[in-house]
Chain A
Amino acid sequence: MADDREILKELWEGRIPVRFSLPLEEVDSGEEPESIYLMLPRLSYFPLVTDRVNKHFSKYVNQEEATEMWLAYSEQPLKWHYPIGVLYDLYGDKDSTPWNITVHFQDFPEDEILHCPSKEAVESQFMSMVKEADSLKHRAQIINNMQKRDHKQLWTALLHDRYDQFWSVNKKLMESSGDDMFKYIPFRIYQIDIPNIQKIFKPCNTDGEEQNLGELLHECVPHLWDEDKFTKRVVTHGIEMTLNTPVLWLSQNFSYPDNFLHLCLLDKTDTG
């Protein structure tokens, strides 16, 4: 299990270098603003880490036309309620780091992304995800038995990037032994330009044997299978998963802080 802890620690430490820049057409003042470079944690959300970006670029835009700030990567608006790592895995170009993100203050794409009025909105979204995951795993018994203080601790640990503080609460949610065995696996499958897939999937089959990732994909996306070969790559946390990995272990160790497995299905490249 020492390995598991190391893996968890590695996952927590995951960072992405990002370059934020303002498109020229939105620049109002005479001089062109400098881009900003940031190392962003994969497990966090954009609204929690972009205060500085907002502050820096808002000086250069037309104050009258400026609305809420929103982000895009090569014309693709980025949804703030997905973890940064998921967005990077799904859209990011692995060959050109840092990740080039444009910052917009105009023409908010109302039908593609949600408004984010404050960090409280992110918090309530995060907590609802955690509760959904626990209702799948333990019929919400554990999360409901927790105190308000523990809920707050989960959030603040994420907000301030505190690993020990987070896991001291989160390990109760990841408990899976005896009666507290996961009932279902909370997961989502993402593909570019296709709505994400979420289905009910038990960690063990009717015979009591643990199921692996391949069997999960068989059940959820059977059309992506060519004979016995899966036509896509399964990427999460920036690494490609082998299909024989047991889903229970994945759920326990590879879940994002919102307790969901976020699996991105990408086209096979030559390098992959």
Chain B
Amino acid sequence: MKEMSTSEIDWKQNIFQQLKLRNKREKEPFENLIQSYSKSFDIASSLKSKNAQLTVEVDRLKEENTRLSEQGGGSSPGFNDKTHSVDVQKLYKLQEELTELHKKRGENSQQIIDLNMLLQEKERELMIKDAKLHDTDAVVLALKSEIKNLEMTIVELEQTNQMLKDEHQALGLAFTAMEEKYRKIQDENADLITRWMHVKAKDADKMNEDNDIQIKKRQAKLQKELIDAAKEPVEIRPESEAGIYVPGIVPICVSVALPNKAQHKFEAHDGEVNAVKWSPSGTMFATGGSDRKIKLWEISGGKCQSKGILTGSNQGIMALDFGIEENYILGASNDFASRVWSLTDQRLRSTLTGHSGKVLAAKFLGDCSKIVSGSHDRTLKIWDLTRIACIKTIFAGSSCNDLVTLQGSNIISGHFDKRLRFWDSHVSSDRSQLLCCTRDDSLKVIDLRMNQVSSSLYADHFNVSCDWSRAVFSPDGTYAIAGSHDGSIFIWNIAKEKVERVLKEHNNAVLACAWHPSGQYVLSADKQKKAVLWSDI
């Protein structure tokens, strides 16, 4: 082991020695040398670079020096007086030139300053212009956008317009179609009407036939009665008692004959015939019209003959009334007045003014000393004929269309507000029924004792023509008669509440009717001049 370790130490030592030797051989001799060499190498290189720098500088300096010496050489050689004076002169000249140049320079600089200022001003102007341009650009942009918007609205409106046009076209088509339909229906209607008229004419013929048969029967009966009477012994009676139609004596109606034929047709007035009235005795009748006249007529031989014309009214006559003794006739006029004429001499006796509206109705009140009038001014007035003055004014509250007097003291007025008003009703007697023509196209019979509508009279084609259309009872009170808007005259049986007869002769609305006190005749007056006398014969 010891040997091993010693040999190990030996070779290690050997190696170490060799290394030391190596280093001694290779490194140590040269280490210091090379160190100092590299130092001197560095120094040499730095010196070299410095040297190069210096040579460059030297060159530069040399160059400068030669330049300077050349300059110096130019001025130094001529150093005598002559050249000197020339030089001085030259110098002066040069100085002068210099000052001149200085001046010029000053001027130029002044000019430059001026130009600069000008330039600045121009620049400012340019800036302003730029700003303006910018503004206008902005405005242009805004306007453009507005234009675009407007264009869009135009397009929209055009679209709407187109749509409306289309709609209009469609409606037009619909309209023409409807028109076509309407024409067709009209044609149909006309056809139906003609058919209807035809049927009606047939009916009328049939009725006429019936009437003829009846008349024949009656004549036969009459003949038979006459034959019978001729067989009986004849009693002679005073003549005065035999006549039925004696003036001043009110005829007594035994039975009413329903008229079925127009006995006589005549033109009563120029224009509407507003009123027609029989005298109490039935010997004559009067008509009043829009031509401001009252005409008096008499029946002779089935014809109506004019007996006189009463003038004096300034407007159309709306209502008539005979005095109970047949010596006076009363007319209510549209000129706000009521007038009284005497029948004997056919002259205007008195004019009663005081209403502030049309007088639509007037009646004698009891004896001929008092008159009551109803007006459109919503009042009723009572007049005293002896004094020719209004003695009483009644404020009715609604315009009065018609009046009825009862026993000389009671007044019943019909009004526009659909009401009947009773005034001073303290006496009552056998006249217990009142006939009203109302605007609901019916006639109402009122029982004055009960203050109730006792019966209503309707008819299919009955239309009340105007506010002041008048309906009347037959003298015995069993029938009521009224004219219709289409010119027909309707006769009702009151007890049965049924239309008994329809008379057609007028072509215009019938305004008034009047039944002869004896029940034999009926008068009717229409809107267009005509009056018709009806009888059963």
Q: Using CB atoms and an 8 Å cutoff, list the residues of chain A in contact with chain B.
A: 3-4, 6-7, 10-11, 13-17, 34, 36-39, 56, 97-98, 237-242, 244-245
Contacts and interface: CB of A to CB of B under 8 A. Distances in A.
B34 A17 contact: yes
A239 B22 contact: yes
A17 B41 CA distance: 16
20 contacts: A7-B15, A14-B19, A14-B22, A14-B26, A16-B27, A17-B26, A17-B33, A37-B33, A37-B37, A37-B38, A38-B34, A38-B38, A39-B27, A39-B35, A97-B25, A238-B19, A238-B26, A239-B15, A239-B18, A239-B19
Contact of B19 (A10, A34, A244): A10
A79 to B, nearest CB: 21
Contacts of A17: 26-27, 29-30, 33-34
Contacts of B41: 34, 36-37
> Can you list the 4 inter-chain pairs with the closest CB atoms, starting with the nearest?
A17-B30, A239-B18, A238-B22, A10-B19
B12 A7 contact: yes
A99 to B, nearest CB: 9
Interface residues of B, number: 27
Contacts, number: 74
Contact of A10 (B13, B20, B29): B20
Given A39-B30, A97-B25, 7 more contacts: A3-B12, A6-B16, A13-B27, A16-B27, A17-B27, A37-B38, A238-B22
B23 A13 contact: yes
Interface in B20-61: 20-23, 25-27, 29-31, 33-35, 37-38, 41, 44-45
B11 interface: yes
Interface of B: 9, 11-16, 18-23, 25-27, 29-31, 33-35, 37-38, 41, 44-45
Contacts of B18: 239-240
A39 B31 contact: yes
Nearest to A56: B45
Contacts of A10: 16, 19-20, 23
B56 to A, nearest CB: 17
Nearest to A36: B41
B26 to A, nearest CB: 6
A97 B26 CA distance: 8
Nearest to B27: A15
Contact of B23 (A14, A98, A240, A241): A14
B11 A245 contact: yes
Contact of A242 (B11, B27, B38): B11
Nearest to B32: A39
A3 B16 contact: yes
Nearest to A16: B26
A36 B38 CA distance: 8
Nearest to A42: B26
B34 A237 contact: no
